[in-house]
Amino acid sequence: MKTKGFAAPYVVWMLLFTIAPILLVLCYAFTDSSGQFTLQNFQSFLDPIYIGVLFRSIGMALLCTLICLLVGYPAAYFLANRSFDKKGVLILLFIIPMWMNFLLRTYAWLTLLESGGLIATLVNWVLRLFGAKEEVRLLYSYQAVLMGMVYNYLPFMVLPLYTVLSKMDARIVEAAEDLGANRLQVFLRVTLPLSLPGVFSGVTMVFMPAVTTFVISRLLGGAQFKLFGDLIEQQFLFTGDWNFGSAMSLVMMALLLISMGLMNRFGDKEGGGVF
């Protein structure tokens, strides 16, 4: 009973900085500028323009998550290999960028993708080798935003996968090999099923920030490319319509809760939860 007092600071923190803001969002979402109850904010959200931006954001987040999974799983599998003695250095290289401010990391991509930047120059040089005459503009495009998202969120996919794969009992793999399974069969029937909790955890940790991002799209996409997070930021900081911005935030929170519920359900079916 005495140990329950240790949870008091956490409870106060949650009440002040989680529960109270959510209640304020709910209040603003269901009221107008005069404080009267209304559903007009949600009706305005049904405009095809906003729905289109929402689906664009979900599509970008799904694509970013897929790329992070395809790139991150082999990397995590390689790092978890017990015969590799330099994995501590590579893990550190994955973690070091996370020590830097998120905004600074995105600004670094801004300089790399701009005209004359390292990546832009390299890409155009390769294209000229194949006969291209016009210079390709990478910055302020769909591809620039996608590259920035993958770069920033890839560690959130690699680290959960590495944790699960490194803790996997090697004797199970050895038993499968002793029974005559080749490397592909071992991976498909043993390694991959046992690593699914890490997959679901990584998918959740990448998809959630990717679908709500606004800094990456604002810096790398410019005014020509907006995601749903940009619309919410615009309502609060520029338009001043906190009621409509709260309604859009509430819709986004509902979508995230649904996605988390689905990931947890699939994770439980595979023998482990997402978190």
Query: Would you list the DSSP string of 184-234?
Result: HHHIIIIIHHHHHHHHHHHHHHHHHHHHH--HHHHHHHGGG---HHHHHHH
Domain 31-269 class, CATH top level: mainly alpha
Which pLDDT tens digit goes with each residue over 152-208? Answer: 999 999 999 999 999 888 888 889 888 888 889 999 999 999 999 999 999 999 999
Domain ranges of the chain: 31-269
Write down the pTM of the prediction: 0.88
* Percent above pLDDT 70 for the chain: 94
Q: Answer yes or no: is pLDDT of 1 > 60.
A: no
Which pLDDT tens digit goes with each residue over 228-268? Answer: 999 999 999 999 999 999 999 999 999 889 888 888 777 66
Q: Which two tokens stand for residue 38?
A: 């209304």
Which pLDDT tens digit goes with each residue over 69-99? Answer: 999 999 999 888 766 677 778 888 888 888 8
pLDDT given at position 273 = 38
Q: CA triplet 177, 182, 183: central angle to 5 degrees?
A: 95
Q: Which residue has the tokens 């689905």?
A: 262
Q: Answer yes or no: is pLDDT of 275 > 70.
A: no
